[in-house]
């Protein structure tokens, strides 16, 4: 889990949308986005509608309204699979994008981390899922929604098959681990007997515990 916990800045466009949300409009969040840009001041983002060096879009998978003290907050959780990351990089920027009331997409808010999270590339050697939590302040009666992504059927089938294959591989690995653990508890005589049953009847003897 990666946290951009240093706070966030509403952009100029984000402030305008926030005022409309406070007046009753729905806040529709479209995505998060990671970037590797560097800055010395969060103020650099105020007039922007993009990150300094955008890298990967991150799907917002859950939103969870909560109350901390006398403040209403909304916890956003985004998910990114490293198979979509061409090359590894250090993520310093995290942008939150939203749908404007005019229908366009805007950079709503930005979080910046001076101690960046390393995002491994697809050639890192294993498939990795990275989750990102961001907390934004809202009014207690603010309605927050997520723009749902619609995947092509072929992609959905491929993802389901990949998940099934991963589950089968994990189950096979557990069975192999259990079998190895069981073998390690056998005596030399028991190991020798198993080898003979499998047709290994050479003159040598097996060493064991």
HSE on the CB side for 4, CA within 13 Å?
A: 32
Confidence of residue 54 (pLDDT cuts 50, 70, 90): very high
Q: What are phi and psi of 47, to 5 degrees?
A: -95, 10
**How do residues 186-208 score in pLDDT, each as one tens digit?**
777 776 776 677 766 655 444 44
pLDDT at 31: 93
State what percent of residues in the chain have pLDDT above 90. Answer: 33
Residue with tokens 């890298």, as numbered in its chain: 55
Q: Where is mean pLDDT largest: 79-83, 123-127, 133-137, 149-153?
A: 79-83
Across the range 39-53, mean pLDDT stands at: 94
State what percent of residues in the chain have pLDDT above 70. Answer: 73
Taken in order 41, 46, 52, 58, the sign of the CA dihedral is: positive
Q: Model pTM?
A: 0.66
pLDDT at 5: 54
Residue with tokens 């890192």, as numbered in its chain: 124
Lowest mean pLDDT among 34-38, 86-90, 190-194: 190-194
* E strand spans, 100-187: 105-119, 129-138, 144-146
Closest CA to 155 of 50, 81, 61, 74: 81
């Amino acid at each position: 889990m990666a946290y951009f916990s240093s706070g966030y800045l509403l952009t100029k466009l984000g402030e305008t949308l926030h005022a409309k949300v406070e007046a009753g409009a729905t806040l529709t969040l479209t995505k998060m986005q990671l970037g590797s840009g560097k800055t010395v001041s969060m103020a650099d983002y105020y007039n922007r509608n993009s990150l300094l060096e955008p890298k990967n879009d991150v799907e917002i998978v859950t939103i969870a309204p909560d109350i901390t003290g006398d403040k209403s907050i909304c916890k956003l959780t985004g998910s990114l699979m490293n198979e979509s990351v061409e090359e590894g990089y250090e993520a310093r920027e995290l942008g939150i994008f939203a749908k404007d009331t005019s229908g366009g997409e805007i950079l709503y808010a930005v979080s910046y981390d001076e101690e960046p999270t390393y995002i491994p590339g697809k050639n890192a050697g294993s498939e990795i899922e990275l989750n990102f939590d961001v907390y934004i302040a809202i009014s207690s009666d603010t309605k927050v929604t997520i723009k749902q992504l619609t995947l092509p059927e072929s992609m959905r089938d491929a993802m389901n098959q990949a998940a099934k294959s991963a589950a089968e591989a994990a189950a096979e690995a557990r069975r192999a681990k259990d079998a190895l653990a069981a073998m390690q508890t056998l005596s030399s005589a028991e190991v020798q007997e198993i080898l003979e049953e499998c047709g290994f009847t050479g003159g040598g003897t097996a060493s064991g515990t």
